[in-house]
């Protein structure tokens, strides 16, 4: 029978990637990336952290947070590799990645958390709150984005992945819906119907 120390070490080895975002709305590009990270890296699971307010982004076109959270829930379905979290809804705003990481690490000591970010985020990492602590204590899993030179941003705790990317953005989806376009195949199953039912991102809701 394994001893207590062995069990504890096995639990700590459980590695959870954190995919932060407004998910305004979640789309198939998000799902492709999350699937790659959990299937082709050493991550055991990926948690989608829905951010109510990104301090570095314009929030004027944000759908209500409960709608964005529900759309992520619909997108993930019953896939056991993924989980959605509303933890930042209950934290001071604007939300900062390092504060969320500290809270989650205290709440779930048996998990090792690491944020998943794009190359554009890494290029601007020095704008983040306590970015030195974030890199030294947690590290980053970074997926490459075209047009960003990361040679000056890479440290010992940054791991780069060439994940497949889809040229789809939430802003494109929002503007397309506002123009009356049918984008049902650009979002996960069920999300398109949810947006229609709740009148999201059309002329009257923006």
Top pLDDT among 147 and 92 is at 92
Q: Are 174 and 206 in contact (CB under 8 A)?
A: yes
Sign of the dihedral defined by the CA atoms of residues 17, 76, 145, 129, in that order? negative
Unique residue bearing structure tokens 């497949």 = 164
Q: pLDDT, tens digit, for every residue of 155-186?
A: 779 999 999 988 899 999 999 999 999 999 99
Cα distance between residue 203 and residue 78, in whole Å: 33
Alpha helix ranges (H) inside the chain:
4-12, 28-40, 65-76, 97-107, 119-123, 131-137, 170-178, 191-197
Paired tokens of 202: 């059309």
Q: The domain 4-166: what is its CATH number? A: 3.40.50.620
Phi, psi of 141 (to 5 degrees): -105, 120
* pLDDT confidence of residue 30: 97
CA atoms within 13 Å, Cβ hemisphere of 151: 2
At residue 5 the predicted structure's pLDDT band, cuts being 50, 70 and 90, is very low
* pLDDT confidence of residue 72: 98
CA atoms within 13 Å, Cβ hemisphere of 9: 5
Paired tokens of 107: 């709440």
Q: Are 102 and 18 in contact (CB under 8 A)?
A: no
* pLDDT confidence of residue 65: 94
Q: pLDDT, tens digit, for every residue of 86-113?
A: 999 999 988 899 999 999 999 999 999 9
Q: pLDDT, tens digit, for every residue of 37-91?
A: 999 999 999 999 999 976 656 666 799 999 999 999 999 999 999 999 999 999 9
Paired tokens of 53: 């307010």
């Amino acid at each position: 029978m394994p001893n207590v120390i062995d069990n504890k070490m096995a639990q700590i080895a459980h590695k959870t990637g954190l995919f932060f975002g407004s998910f305004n709305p979640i789309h198939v590009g998000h799902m492709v990336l999350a699937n790659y990270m959990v299937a082709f890296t050493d991550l055991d699971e990926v948690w989608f952290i829905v951010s109510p307010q990104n301090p570095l982004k314009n929030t004027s076109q944000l759908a209500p947070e409960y709608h964005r959270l529900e759309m992520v829930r619909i997108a993930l379905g019953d896939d056991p590799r993924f989980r959605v979290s509303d933890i930042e809804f209950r934290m001071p705003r604007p939300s900062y990645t390092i504060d969320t990481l500290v809270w989650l690490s205290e709440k779930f000591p048996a998990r090792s958390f690491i944020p998943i970010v794009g190359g554009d985020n890494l290029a601007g990492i020095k704008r983040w709150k306590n970015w030195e602590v974030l890199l030294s204590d947690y590290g980053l899993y970074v997926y490459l984005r075209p047009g960003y030179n990361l040679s000056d941003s890479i440290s010992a705790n940054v791991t780069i992945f060439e994940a497949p990317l889809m040229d789809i953005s939430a802003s494109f989806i929002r503007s397309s819906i506002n123009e009356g376009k049918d984008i049902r195949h650009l979002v996960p199953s069920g999300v398109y119907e949810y947006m229609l039912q709740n009148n999201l991102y059309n002329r009257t809701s923006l």
